[in-house]
């Protein structure tokens, strides 16, 4: 099944118009259950569900490697992978639901072999996503437990370290100001240091706040400058794709990957469609 996503961008309150979906990528050979993370590097896609990291080809269609999180030696048994990022030929994985109640950053090489890991006590046992700002490559970021800011941790560390937060960057506008409940899904930086945050209203399929929120960041504050609303509307399905039936199940935005290029910024959104008979995951790409 394939959902229709309706995308538009706003800048300083002005509509920039529709952003056409360039293509849709659908994966094979990797479980869609509890889709979590998305990254791209070295001509491969990296995709995570809650238990497994997969490496797929550049078309996001076939799997050639995978790694089960529960099989990694992380100093405790961990059962949940969150968002992922790719930086300098390494895959960074946010991992939690560990027996010692500590969230972890897990670093794999591009063959999905374990390189090192560290705990992050300041995150209080939960790490929904991880992102590296390429303009300051010595840190990785994840969301603060209060969801109103993000914490930076040193990226260079010894295996098994307990990392202290190096700094805190507050969001000047955060989802809790407009949503009573939302999923803290994923995030990614582009090459210029802008942060793209996935915001999904947990109570509505069609919400003006669901989408990608874009922030300009400095050492202390992330200022929201733009938003790209993404609507999942079950009433707008193409009948042939929906089998001429009414589809009512919710879709979810899970993670985002951003690529800077000559033609602007390519934005790739990991989308999970929760159907009654099967879960299907796709990557929707568009440019701005």
Q: Averaged over 135-155, what is the pLDDT?
A: 92
- Measured on CA atoms in the order 5, 1, 282, 145, is the torsion positive or negative? positive
The whole-number pLDDT of residue 232 equals 58
Write the DSSP string, 150-171: EEEEES---TTEEPPP-EEEEE
Task: Judge if pTM exceeds 0.75.
Answer: yes
DSSP 249: P
User: Which run of H or E residues covers position 132?
Assistant: none
CA distance 254 to 272: 7
Minimal CA–CA distance to 26: which of 8, 1, 44, 51?
1
pLDDT digits (tens, 9 = 90+) for 89-120: 999 999 999 999 999 999 999 999 999 999 99
- Does domain 5-287 fall under CATH 2.60.40? My reply is no
Residue 239 is given by DSSP the state H
Instruction: Encode pLDDT of 168-203 as tens digits.
Output: 999 998 776 666 566 668 999 999 999 999 988 766
């Amino acid at each position: 099944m394939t959902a229709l996503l309706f995308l538009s961008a706003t800048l300083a309150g002005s509509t920039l118009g529709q952003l056409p979906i360039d293509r849709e990528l659908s994966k094979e050979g990797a479980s869609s259950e509890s889709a979590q993370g998305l990254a791209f590097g070295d001509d491969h896609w990296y995709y995570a569900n809650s238990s497994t990291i997969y490496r797929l080809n550049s078309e996001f269609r076939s799997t050639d490697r995978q790694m089960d999180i529960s099989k990694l030696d992380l100093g405790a048994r961990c059962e949940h992978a969150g968002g992922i990022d790719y930086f300098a030929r390494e895959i960074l994985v946010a991992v939690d639901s560990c027996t010692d109640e500590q969230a972890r950053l897990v670093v794999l090489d591009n063959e999905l072999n374990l390189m090192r890991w560290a705990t992050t006590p300041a995150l209080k046992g939960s790490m929904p996503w991880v992102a590296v700002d390429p303009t300051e490559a010595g840190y990785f970021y994840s969301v603060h437990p209060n969801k109103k800011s993000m914490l930076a941790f040193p990226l260079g560390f010894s295996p098994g370290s307990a990392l202290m937060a190096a700094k805190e960057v507050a969001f000047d506008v955060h989802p809790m100001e407009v949503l009573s409940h939302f999923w803290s899904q994923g995030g990614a930086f582009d090459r210029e240091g802008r942060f793209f945050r996935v915001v999904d209203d947990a109570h509505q399929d069609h919400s003006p706040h669901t989408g990608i929120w874009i922030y300009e960041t400095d050492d202390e504050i992330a200022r929201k400058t733009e938003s790209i609303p993404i609507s999942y509307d079950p009433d707008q399905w193409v009948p042939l794709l929906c089998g001429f039936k009414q589809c009512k199940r919710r879709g979810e935005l899970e993670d985002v990957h951003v690529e800077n290029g000559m033609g602007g910024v390519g934005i790739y959104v990991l989308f999970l469609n929760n159907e009654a008979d099967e879960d299907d995951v796709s990557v929707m790409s568009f440019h701005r």
